[in-house]
Amino acid sequence: MPRGRPSRAGVFTRLETQLQELNNRLGGLPTPKESEYIWSDIWHLEAHHSTALEGNTLVLREVEALLDQGRAVGSKPLAEYVEVKGYGQAATWVYAQARGETLTSLLP
């Protein structure tokens, strides 16, 4: 294998091969609607698992209800609900930065 930077043609050839594999073998990228569901699921799971590592006892169903509906389902200490809600808001901000949105677009 040659040393140094690959040629531009080589990079494009490799990209085309990988795009064909993505489309033919894996069915392509998800639709925008599917992506929305996937990111929502990641958000719920991330908030649940990350706070659970710190000792939070809310189960996934409670985390989903809190983040989606703003409802505290169950009878856990208020601090646990506040922790998950804060984590969810922080994760939303981070995701928005990754998409290139500005902070002001997230404010009410």
Based on the domain organization, do 52 and 80 belong to the same domain? Answer: yes
Q: Are residues 23 and 58 in the same domain?
A: no
Q: Are residues 35 and 19 in the same domain?
A: no
| pLDDT over threshold 50, residue 108 | no
Please indicate, yes or no, whether residues 12 and 24 belong to a single structural domain of this protein.
yes
Residue 88 CA to residue 44 CA, distance in Å, equals: 8
User: Is residue 14 domain-shared with residue 56, that is, in the same domain?
Assistant: no
Both 83 and 45 in a single domain?
Answer: yes
pLDDT given for residue 21 in this prediction: 93
pLDDT in tens, 21-77: 999 998 888 888 888 889 899 999 999 999 999 999 999 999 999 999 999 998 999
Say what the pTM is. Answer: 0.67
Angstrom distance (rounded) from CA 85 to CA 72: 10
Q: Tell me if 44 sits within 8 A of 67, measured CB to CB.
A: yes
Domain of 43, in residue numbers: 31-106
| Buried/exposed code over 13-52 (b: 16+ C-beta within 10 A; e: otherwise) | eeeeeeeeeeeeeeeeeeeeeeeeeeeeeebbebbbebbe
Task: Please tell me the total count of domains within the chain.
Answer: 2
* Residues 6 or more apart in contact with residue 95 via CB below 8 angstroms: 39, 43
